[in-house]
Amino acid sequence: MRYSGLRVLTEGLFGNKGWKPAWRDPAPKAQYDAIIIGGGGHGLSTAYYLAKNHGLTNIAVLEKGYLGSGNIGRNTTIVRANYFLQGNSEFYSHSLKLWEGLESELNYNVMHSQRGLINLFHSDGQRDAFVRRGNAMINQGDDAILLDREGVRRHLPYLDFEQTRFPIYGGLLHPRGGTARHDAVAWGYARGADRRGVDLIQNCEVTGIDIENGRVTGVQTTRGAIRAKKVGMVVAGRSSQVAAMAGMRLPIESHVLQAFVTEGLKPVIDHVISFGMGHFYMSQSDKGGLVFGGDLDFYASYAARGNLPIIEHVMEAGMTLMPMIGRAKVLRSWGGIMDMSPDGSPIIDKTPIDGLFVDCGWNYGGFKAVPASGWCMAHLMATGESHPVARRFRLDRFATGHVIDEEGTGSQHNLH
């Protein structure tokens, strides 16, 4: 069923009785050409592009819970292409372009809103770094505008510019940056994949990976064994557990990242604001809630909730930057489990096992990557070759020294 304004109108006139479920609920078949483990954003987009770009439709996505129950439904929805290093730069640029066509591509409203992202800086040295980053973005074909203090004030008059610890010197505006509705992205890809014949199988946990003579032959699941010659592991925070089923030990440590939302307010924050020095960022959702967060809790965790010191730290940073938010009431806080890699950049690669592929290491930035990750993972699984914009996301780059350390913080999983 295609969605359109006319459809909404006619359904409205006839009691909304004609809507159909957005996807089927099939039982798993005994065999597929390819299996994607994980029904988050990346797993669903991989399935979609396998079907759309490569004509592979006899495939299944296996999800242990319900579609979108993982990080895809827990993130703070920032979409941007403001990376500095080669490897990341071309990949996220490609992703943003896919975002810009996503709603017509999927015939689904993912509420992509390019409201502009402003990264604040607070010293001359930081300004220099942002000038370089802005130039790298422009070289990549994306957009960046350097704002001085008055320029930031024109956009964000309500910030406390005089705070003593981090006085605001300026900001880097990325006009095409913004937000999207997180679970709509999962639902849009799910519906698109389903319509092309992909089986989306929920409540189906993969419990084993079958390997014979160094080749993958299928998976064991809570809904029985399923055979396939190609298997993609796309399970974000659970990557280590699933890879261990294939005898692999990944360069990943799982960490909890918290986020917060206030009660709904009238429109007050038009941009995405990032206050890196204070570990704080914020935007306002279309429902009116102020959506904000900060840094990791910093210790390895699989509990999708965090501890109070980080909550206190995030609130302090927010109040330092924009004291006006002190009046808003926080409604909820939650956490998601991040697959942290030692250089903060992702992995989209083959594994030493034939037919087994891995897509992980998204740290806390994998939402914006959903379109390009699926695009490149599908390319890899279909052709056996890395896609040009993802060819640096190699699994062996830590051993070989070809790391992509965007923040320059060194090889410690929680520092990115």
Ligand X SMILES: Cc1cc2nc3c(=O)[nH]c(=O)nc-3n(C[C@H](O)[C@H](O)[C@H](O)COP(=O)(O)OP(=O)(O)OC[C@H]3O[C@@H](n4cnc5c(N)ncnc54)[C@H](O)[C@@H]3O)c2cc1C
Contact mark string toward ligand X, 278..297, x via CB under 6 A = ---------------x----
Q: Does 405 participate in binding other proteins (rule CB under 8 A)?
A: no
What is the total count of residues that contact ligand X (CB under 6 A)?
Answer: 38
Q: CA-CA distances (angstroms) from residue 47 to 330, 373, 376, 404?
A: 37, 11, 11, 27
* Three-state DSSP class for residue 111: coil
The answer to whether 301 touches 255, Cβ cutoff 8 Å, is: yes
Residue among 74, 94, 255, 392 that touches ligand X (CB under 6 A): 74
Residue 61: in which H helix or E strand, if any?
strand 59-62
Q: Does 366 participate in binding ligand X (rule CB under 6 A)?
A: yes
Q: Which span sits near ligand X by CB under 6 A: 12-20, 74-82, 107-115, 162-170? A: 74-82
Q: Which does 251 bind (CB under 5 to 8 A by kind): other proteins, ligand X, none?
A: other proteins
**One-letter amino acid for residue 49 of the chain:** Y
Number of other CB atoms surrounding residue 101 within 10 Å: 11
Q: Which does 62 bind (CB under 5 to 8 A by kind): other proteins, ligand X, none?
A: ligand X
CA distance 362 to 347: 8
**197-216 positions binding ligand X, by CB under 6 A:** 205-206
* Three-state DSSP class for residue 78: strand
Q: Does 251 participate in binding other proteins (rule CB under 8 A)?
A: yes
Q: Closer CB to ligand X, residue 169 or residue 297?
A: 297
Q: Does 408 participate in binding other proteins (rule CB under 8 A)?
A: no
Q: Closer CB to ligand X, residue 147 or residue 226?
A: 226
**38-57 positions binding ligand X, by CB under 6 A:** 38-43
Q: Which does 394 bind (CB under 5 to 8 A by kind): other proteins, ligand X, none?
A: none
**327-356 positions binding other proteins, by CB under 8 A:** 342
CA distance 389 to 47: 19
Q: Closer CB to ligand X, residue 69 or residue 107?
A: 69
Least distance from other proteins to the Cβ atom of residue 302, Å: 4
Contacts of 140 (CB under 8 A, 6+ apart): 81, 89, 90, 93
| Cα 87 off chain centre by | 17
**224-263 positions binding ligand X, by CB under 6 A:** 234-238, 242, 257, 259
Q: Closer CB to ligand X, residue 127 or residue 223?
A: 223
CA distance 410 to 348: 21
CA distance 362 to 340: 7
Q: Does 368 participate in binding ligand X (rule CB under 6 A)?
A: yes
Strand order in the sheet with 117-121: 145-148, 170-174, 117-121, 272-275, 280-284, 289-300, 253-264, 330-340
Least distance from other proteins to the Cβ atom of residue 129, Å: 25
Give burial (CB, 10 Å; 0-12/13-18/19+) of 382. Answer: middle
Q: Does 303 participate in binding other proteins (rule CB under 8 A)?
A: yes
**309-338 positions binding ligand X, by CB under 6 A:** 336
Residue among 35, 60, 78, 137 that touches ligand X (CB under 6 A): 78
Identify the CA nearest to 193 among candidates 330, 53, 293.
53
Q: Closer CB to ligand X, residue 169 or residue 187?
A: 187
The answer to whether 119 touches 277, Cβ cutoff 8 Å, is: no
Which residues contribute to the site for other proteins (CB under 8 A)? 238, 240-241, 244, 249-254, 298-303, 307, 309, 342, 398-399, 411-414
Which residues contribute to the site for ligand X (CB under 6 A)? 37-43, 62-65, 69-72, 74-78, 205-206, 234-238, 242, 257, 259, 293, 336, 362, 364-368
